[in-house]
Amino acid sequence: MLNPDQWVPAEVHKTPPSIMKLSLPKRIRALVKLHDTPLMVVDKRVLIEEYARFKRLLPRVDLYYAIKANPHPDIIKAFRDLGGAFDVASEGEMRHVLAQGVKPQRIIFANTVKRPEALEFARKARVNFVTFDSEPELYKIAKHHPGCRVLARLKVSNLGSIVELSLKFGADYDQIVPMMAKAKGLGLRPEGVSFHVGSQCTNFENYQRALEVTANIMKGAVERGLPFKIVDIGGCFPIKHFKSDTISLDTFASKLRRELDRLYPKDVQIIAEPGRALSGPAGMLICRVVGRSIRNNKNYYYLDDGVYGDFSGIVFDHCKYEFRTLVKTQKYASILAGPTCDSFDTISLNEDLPELDVGSVVYVPSIGAYSCASAVVFNGIPPAKVIVV
């Protein structure tokens, strides 16, 4: 989770609202002058717009923001005030969300493998909604959180997704209904099925197959007299990291709406756990060049942030970013590296960039998710300061 020392609360970061009204180049220069670099700028206006876009495109879907994408308190409070709910994966994340004034009824503990102590905390905090994908996990939940509401996590295809989460999570189709029956027998409250088609999913067939399989599970559960109230379609919604990207929620939302209405009665609640899709577009990382050289006939630029910092998504999330500059001249083959004394700290081996000098700004849009959330201090070099404007 983000180091609280990086957080600059909205009420004290003292960024004049007038700065956000400037043209982008002038805005960036003003923010650098005011806050220095590296700087992660999260635009609250974009957070609100992305939430509203989701609700407009998928009006039937209740949103549980996956805070692992970016747990900044101001982001949580923004979605709290919009009526959103939250997906947490640990006791620490639960404590963090509750500390922002979120009611426990608006939290799902969506890690299928939970520490007994975390379940005890959830019970005491009245977080009464968890996922599971194995029978041993059910016994653990029944022991440490008796009577809890549970969703069975289904293993589904992740073909075409950047991160294949079904490699680690999810039970096979034929296990789901028997485990729901087992949950009921243990005094738990099975309420439906969850699945995740993989992060940055650009293959709509993954959604379609998962929804059809889940609908068949629903029929089997109802035939056995088991309650089936909820379908959790997970996160996975792709965002545009580059101007040239063509696939996003907008491209398949209408098909997803039709499938949900075709397969599930209106009394079945549909929930989702977007993380990147809500916080990603709102974040912009501003760096500066701190060193340069020529290597292998390429310009080699060292930035004041790297893969141990806010470019950690390159490692942990297989992410690719669009690097932009304030210089508009001829471009050359270039390499970008981070500031640490480790060759692993290489950001990109092939970028077309104009000639830059020490002090030149390099900025990256749509980097608000899986960046500062997994950044660490290495070589004594802190990650970017985070501000919400």
Pairing of strands 269-272, 230-232: parallel
Q: What angle do helix axes 44-57 and 249-263 make, rounded to 10 degrees?
A: 40
Selection from 13, 22, 64 nearest residue 40 by Cα: 13
Residue 324: count of CB within 10 angstroms of its CB = 16
Report helix, strand or coil for 311. coil
Selection from 21, 74, 12 nearest residue 47 by Cα: 74
Enter the tokens of residue 98: 């509750």
| Identified catalytic residue from 201, 236, 341, 372 | 341
Enter the tokens of residue 246: 């063509």
What are the Cα distances from residue 350, in Å, to 203, 324, 360, 365?
27, 14, 18, 18
CA atoms of 154 and 166, how far apart (whole Å): 9
Q: What angle do CA 22, 25, 28 make, to 5 degrees?
A: 80
372 noted as active-site residue: no
Burial 201-239 (b: 16+ CB within 10 A, else e): bbbbebbbbbbebbbebbebbeeeebebebbbbbbbbbb
Q: Quick check: 186 and 222 in contact, CB under 8 A?
A: no
CA atoms of 292 and 302, how far apart (whole Å): 6
Question: What single letter denotes the amino acid at residue 237?
Answer: F
What is the C-alpha R_g of the chain?
A: 22
The residues near 102 (Cβ < 8 Å, ≥ 6 apart) are 76, 80, 86
Selection from 5, 36, 73 nearest residue 361 by Cα: 36
User: 151 — phi, psi (to 5°)?
Assistant: -115, 135
Q: Which residues are catalytic?
A: 341
